[in-house]
Amino acid sequence: MSDMSPPLTLIVAATAKNGIGKNGGLPWPMLKKEMAYFARVTKRVPSAIQAATPAHGSSAQLKPAQNVVVMGRRTWESIPPKFRPLPGRTNMIISAREAGTFGSANEDVVVAQSVQSGLDYLARRGEEGLAKPMGRVFVIGGAQLYKTALELPSAKHILLTRVHEEYDCDTFFPVDVESAEWGWRKRSKDELEEFIGEDLEDAVLEETVKEQTVRYEFTLYERL
């Protein structure tokens, strides 16, 4: 098994004051285009990763790489039961609770006590041909897990949907990416499109989207 940890991408929607949640849910109305963007981006495995996926035996050859979405227990519980696990992705839940707490066995659900131990487990299983090889790894919340992930040297990118309206929030993203002191740099729109693998004009028609009276913008930040 490789000693190299896969790079982590945090994906989050936040207001200008970094608010991300209220009472265990989102503080803004449902944004269908933004949710569709999240689904597309977290499902899409770059062709370069698929091509580089090692095959160890015939069983591994039959398993294409699949992205991983990493979440805390409360984030998992905030997903309506009919929508979980999030389809087309390996769902990793970071929790000290037993795996059985999260429902019946499903090969696309992994429970781990830490991000690193979960990724090590998936890497091992993938190399043995017992699980889908890992594509990209996305951390999807909540706030404490974002904070934990940001402390890892493997946290390389943040895909931030910047919500331009302000809402009353009780949960906040732990870093201000627009402040130089945090060590993040905003990338260009072209670099964002290359990273996510799609043309935003085709997907959302304009750089700043307005939906349900909410204006928001898709952005990419990279760790310096």
pLDDT in tens, 186-195: 999 999 999 9
Burial 126-145 (b: 16+ CB within 10 A, else e): bbebebbbbbbbbbbbbbeb
Average pLDDT over residues 88-105: 85
> Which domains occur in the chain, in start order?
8-12+32-52+59-223 (3.40.430.10)
What is the reported pLDDT for 2? 46
For 108, residues 6+ apart whose C-beta sits below 8 A from its C-beta are 66, 85, 87, 89, 90, 91
What is the reported pLDDT for 90? 96
Instruction: Give yes or no for residue 87 having a pLDDT over 70.
Output: yes
What is the radius of gyration, based on Cα positions, of the chain? 17
Global confidence as pTM: 0.91
User: pLDDT grade, residue 55 (50/70/90)?
Assistant: low
Residue 176's Cβ-count burial label (10 Å; 0-12, 13-18, 19+) is: middle
User: CA-CA distance, 83 to 172, in Å (whole number)?
Assistant: 25
Instruction: Give yes or no for residue 49 having a pLDDT over 90.
Output: no
pLDDT in tens, 144-201: 999 999 999 999 999 999 999 999 999 999 999 999 999 999 999 999 999 999 998 6
Instruction: Give yes or no for residue 121 having a pLDDT over 70.
Output: yes
Closest CA to 161 of 80, 213, 198, 215: 215
